[in-house]
A and B are shown apart, each in its own frame.
Chain A
């Protein structure tokens, strides 16, 4: 177990290093010149060159990357080119909002996805099952930008149940969480359905029914806990997908998280922010996977860590 943990930690560190290298290289290769963005349209070529020298962007790629890595190891993510603030500070200020949205989204997707999955499994083959599966299919394929605007228009503008975007209270959280959750809820519904169908076929379920237990008791006490286990393990892996959705949804709802930050940074070639957010998200995903792997044997004793 300890050896496994050590190996996984080293692997994770290598993955992060690889991601940093690839992202840094891609941004370096970008035909857009960040110095031109900083210098603005009125700058003379002399000003542009002077800024380039000061930022060390006239150095060869490996020197630049080495410097970045060295600073990174000391916890310094650099300064934003456009905002001129510490990237670490910009990310820390926005991270809580993203984490909150993520938690909200996970709760929503589990609630919706698992409920749909269980109902579909129980009513397998009926019209209910089919319409739920069609709904989940739509959820998986609907563009989140559209879903977000649709929810916003119906529930915030027309019905005034929720505020039109913004951040701060529980009611602000509902619509963005739902929007992020819609896609993954579709996946969870499908997984839950097949997992539940599997479980419902097991002998112990038949035994429980034969004992004369109520249908609902069997479902909740015996089937659900077993069917849900493999899905819980998926949440860690799901963080990557969530991250992608969050970038879009934060923009639609004016949610002050790191997705919005990176979206703005991309438009303006603000490389330190793009690097910083990429690394933080990569870290979250690696961590999620790592935890999922660690937890797996506790959930399913058949899995052994070696």
Chain B
């Protein structure tokens, strides 16, 4: 029996709204009446674009680019974290939360002109799970039936994915999964045409063909990538821009100089920290900077396997000892102080939770209770690029004030990650530069790999090696609440989980980074497109320029 039917028609949106779920908003409403179609922009990046294959690309630079070339069954309303159907026209979730059926939009064409069908959806997801693809996103599909066999290469395809008819696809899961709609919105589930993948083989990432708002125009290795408007895009009216040129190999400082001279439109790597104050002190430049939240938390992990951090009092003392306000000042207020693992813009954030207030005297008391009245010596691992060593020094001073002598180990990113993944590798790690940024805007995404038992394994990302089986069970329960009407209940459950974690204090959350996107004066569109939670730096499909004739 089916309980919820959402479609993108207005009637269904109204229904969805009455149910407290806005997942069915009509796409056409997203058009900006002020937008003028046409024109082109230039975006700069320091690093090469690694790959534009949605099964492989997993860095913040290609993440958003891939979103403009490809589409998935689900997406988010521009500038928000609100889910809506995309290539799907509607979806149904079975009563037990284990079967998701999607009805596909009609007449959607790949850039090569062929119409997209349910077979393509099935192929695309099976391709990600296939070990030969070496996709970093394989694990996102672990709840689909037949995953284990397919992921180990023992079976062709996933038994849980069924093409009902060319425009209907059904997913059967091994357990109810409230995050499944989000999974259908991440890049790894974006739809690719089989014939193009087979034609280009491993080089598909350099010859991407999707259904997205833009298609690849030119790719000159090491110099530029050019996106051209997909005139056949199913979402009529989008995109506004005719062309986007990504210029590669430009240092952030050089990009800023060029922006100031009006040569480029958005420096993709942001405002270089050394120039941040200068830009923000100039009213003319500041007016072109958009600030927004990020699904990011910066934290200090304390390895519960390494004494004295096996003692909860010591971990709580560290939480109280760190003066977060001052650390935020160290990075020119480019962040807001944090008191819990979830960032404020994430559903499930505990508004009322106060966390551990800065109180050195109380922290010292706790240390004494734990039998460390004279403090102790330990190591704080940190990634060696600015501003992380500076932040680590701030933390070091705060800890010294309560008698903890933390020696800083500033290493290359990969080495810090390696140390964190060893059971007794790193007593403390400052997460900066490697910190968790959510894959999708759902509270569960901050748990499993970084705070759950599943991540507390060699090579895992749970660097505090905290494993609370009760909470793992509770997390499982929360994720079985697939009924969109019960989303609030589910978010509350997650709030409780994170509050509980803070009692055990395996982390000292320090701050949530803010995003600052700078743009040229000719760029238009709502501010939230420039700090879109899932598109970094900007939502390419929805921004436009004002100087089009």
Contacts and interface: CB of A to CB of B under 8 A. Distances in A.
A294 B205 CA distance: 45
Nearest to A251: B251
Interface in A202-235: none
Contacts of A31: 414-415, 418
Contact of B459 (A36, A83, A164): A36
Which of A79, A157, A166, A269 has its CB near the most chain B CB atoms (within 10 A)? A166
A36 B418 contact: yes
B132 A54 contact: yes
Contacts of A197: none
Contacts of A60: none
Task: Describe B's contact surface by its main secondary structure.
Answer: loop
A231 B223 CA distance: 35
Contacts of B138: 43-44, 47
Contacts of A267: 412-413
Contact of B449 (A42, A93, A253): A42
A90 B439 CA distance: 29
A201 interface: no
Interface in A17-56: 30-33, 36-48, 50-51, 54-55
Interface stretch (A134-142, A180-188, A255-263, A279-287): A255-263
Given A42-B139, A46-B151, A255-B249, A261 B254 contact: no
A41 B134 contact: no
A54 B261 CA distance: 48
A84 interface: yes
B254 A45 contact: no
Interface stretch (B44-52, B91-99, B360-368, B399-407): B44-52
B204 to A, nearest CB: 9
A152 interface: yes
Contact of B222 (A41, A47, A97, A153): A97
B11 interface: no
Nearest to B131: A50
A254 interface: yes
Contacts of A43: 136, 138-139
Interface in B182-235: 202-203, 205-206, 220-223
Given A54-B132, A85-B203, A85-B205, A40 B249 contact: no
Interface string B247-265: 1111101100110010100
A197 to B, nearest CB: 42
B439 A42 contact: yes
B457 interface: yes
B421 interface: yes
B136 A256 contact: no
B293 interface: no
**Residue among A79, A83, A153, A157 facing the most chain B CB atoms (10 A cut-off):** A83
B246 interface: no
Contacts of A296: none
B459 A157 contact: no
A255 B257 CA distance: 16
A11 interface: no
Q: Interface range on chain A: under 10, 10 to 19, 20 to 34, or 35 or more?
A: 35 or more
A266 to B, nearest CB: 9
Most chain A C-beta atoms within 10 Å of own C-beta, residue among B153, B220, B222, B258: B222
A32 B412 contact: yes
B458 interface: yes
A247 to B, nearest CB: 13
A90 B47 CA distance: 14
A257 B249 CA distance: 10
B459 A48 contact: yes
A292 B207 CA distance: 43
B254 A47 contact: no
Interface string B453-492: 0100111110000000000000000000000000000000
A149 interface: yes
Interface residues of B, number: 54
A250 to B, nearest CB: 8
A50 B152 contact: yes
Contacts of A94: 221-222
A86 to B, nearest CB: 8
A82 interface: yes
Interface string B108-151: 00000000000000000000000110101111101000000001
Contacts of A156: 257
Contact of A164 (B152, B258, B415, B458): B258
B428 interface: no
Contacts of B53: 84
A38 B205 contact: no
Contact of B415 (A32, A167, A268): A32
Interface in A64-114: 79, 82-86, 89-90, 93-94, 97
B256 to A, nearest CB: 10
A264 interface: yes
Given A42-B136, A45-B460, A84-B205, A36 B414 contact: yes
B530 interface: no
B446 interface: no
B444 to A, nearest CB: 12
A47 B139 contact: yes
B254 A256 contact: no
B149 to A, nearest CB: 12
Contacts of A82: 50-51
A97 B231 CA distance: 35
Given A54-B131, A84-B205, A85-B206, A256 B223 contact: yes
A264 B414 contact: no
A94 B152 CA distance: 38
Contacts of B421: 36
A117 B205 CA distance: 52
A36 B139 CA distance: 14
Contacts of B335: none
Contact of A157 (B261, B413, B414): B261
B249 A42 contact: no
Nearest to B458: A45
Contacts of B58: 40, 42
Contacts of B257: 152-153, 156-157, 164
A85 B205 CA distance: 8
Contacts of B412: 32, 267
B263 A164 contact: yes
A89 B205 CA distance: 14
A43 to B, nearest CB: 5
Nearest to B47: A264
Given A90-B221, A94-B221, A254 B254 contact: yes
A240 interface: no
B417 interface: yes
Nearest to A83: B50
A32 B386 CA distance: 20
Interface in A123-168: 149, 152-153, 156-157, 164-167
A83 B205 CA distance: 8
Given A31-B414, A264-B48, 15 more contacts: A32-B415, A32-B417, A33-B418, A33-B459, A36-B417, A38-B136, A50-B131, A50-B152, A51-B134, A83-B48, A83-B50, A94-B221, A165-B254, A254-B251, A256-B223
7 closest cross-chain pairs (CB), A and B: A32-B414, A40-B136, A256-B222, A93-B221, A254-B249, A254-B250, A44-B139
Interface of B: 47-48, 50-51, 53, 56, 58, 131-132, 134, 136-140, 142, 151-153, 202-203, 205-206, 220-223, 247-251, 253-254, 257-258, 261, 263, 412-415, 417-418, 421, 436, 439, 449, 454, 457-461
15 contacts: A31-B415, A39-B136, A40-B58, A43-B138, A45-B458, A50-B134, A51-B134, A55-B134, A85-B203, A164-B263, A165-B251, A252-B254, A256-B222, A257-B222, A260-B222
